[in-house]
Chains A and B, each alone.
Chain A
Amino acid sequence: GQNIDQPTEMTATEGAIVQINCTYQTSGFNGLFWYQQHAGEAPTFLSYNVLDGLEEKGRFSSFLSRSKGYSYLLLKELQMKDSASYLCAGMDSNYQLIWGAGTKLIIKP
């Protein structure tokens, strides 16, 4: 079956770095998405990886290893506003999104 696994909750300190891991099993693969979602708001697109490697975009970076079925989202210089849920979603061969349950990130001063 198809599945996305990510931790339920993580806690980090303001100014620090945090890595949110995601492992996936999909029927075929057409890329992996990361979204940020604040409570009561729609998910905001953060990144899309379809090739192996690291993609950096400001304080956020996303990594993909297709052979390992693994991705991570790296957040640097954490700010209080980064407290949110982070959703990992894989796209299968039919271009359907398989969603993780989300990782709630709590930032402490």
Chain B
Amino acid sequence: GAVVSQHPSWVICKSGTSVKIECRSLDFQATTMFWYRQFPKQSLMLMATSNEGSKATYEQGVEKDKFLINHASLTLSTLTVTSAHPEDSSFYICSAPEVERGESDTQYFGPGTRLTVL
């Protein structure tokens, strides 16, 4: 089946630095990818929708200048957390829908990236 990967799995960084997280669809093309943030034992919070070839769509309350999204190709979206602070420490998850002709989308989720900002 379709697989979505994320890199890195873990990242620890100092406050003030920027961190880039990659989301890749491994055997299908995704014109749209979704970025979520998850706190322990809580629901996934949609941060933004990444669109290939155009600007990302951010959810209300998410700072687009802080969370930069680039959907460079049909298989890769990146989330860059700029000037990270300890409150940005979280589990970031991406997903990509595989659109099959005549059928509804199937969402595939990445394994997540655990970010710790010191």
Residues of A in contact with B (beta carbons under 8 Å apart)? 35, 37, 39, 42-45, 48, 85, 87, 89, 94-99, 101-102
Q: Which of B10, B104, B108 contacts A94 (CB 8 A)?
A: B10
Judge whether A96 and B106 touch: CB under 8 Å: no
The verdict on A96 contacting B43 (CB below 8 Å), with A42-B36, A101-B1, A102-B107 known, is no
**A14 CA / B108 CA spacing, docked (Å):** 28
Closest A-B pairs by Cβ, 7 of them = A96-B111, A42-B46, A45-B43, A99-B109, A44-B43, A42-B44, A43-B44
B46 near A101 (CB under 8 angstroms)?
A: no
Does B41 sit at the interface, judged by CB under 8 A?
Answer: yes
11 contacts between A and B (CB under 8 A): A35-B43, A35-B44, A42-B36, A42-B43, A45-B41, A85-B107, A89-B109, A94-B9, A95-B10, A95-B112, A101-B106
Q: Which residue of A lies closest to B3 (CB)?
A: A99
B60 contacts A by Cβ under 8 Å = no
B106 surroundings in chain A (CB, below 8 A) = 101-102
Task: Tell me which residues across on chain A come within 8 A of B44, comparing CB atoms.
Answer: 35, 42-45
Interface SS of chain B: helix, strand, loop or mixed? strand
Question: Dominant SS at the A interface?
Answer: strand
**Contact string, B35-53, partner A, CB cutoff 8 A, digits 1/0?**
0100001111110000000
Check: B114 CB closer than 8 A to any chain A CB. Answer: yes
CB-CB under 8 A from A45, the residues of chain B are 41-44
Chain B residues in 8 Å Cβ range of A99: 108-109, 111
**Nearest chain B residue, comparing its CB with the CB of A100:** B109
What is the CA–CA distance of A89 and B41 in the complex, to the nearest angstrom? Answer: 12
List residues 1-50 of chain B with CB under 8 A from any CB of chain A. 1, 9-10, 34, 36, 41-46
Please tell me if the beta carbons of B112 and A97 are within 8 angstroms of each other in the complex: yes
- What's the minimum C-beta distance from B24 to chain A, rounded to whole angstroms? 15
- Does B76 count as interface, using CB distance less than 8 angstroms? no
B59, chain A: closest CB distance, angstroms: 9
Contact B10 A43 (CB under 8 A): no
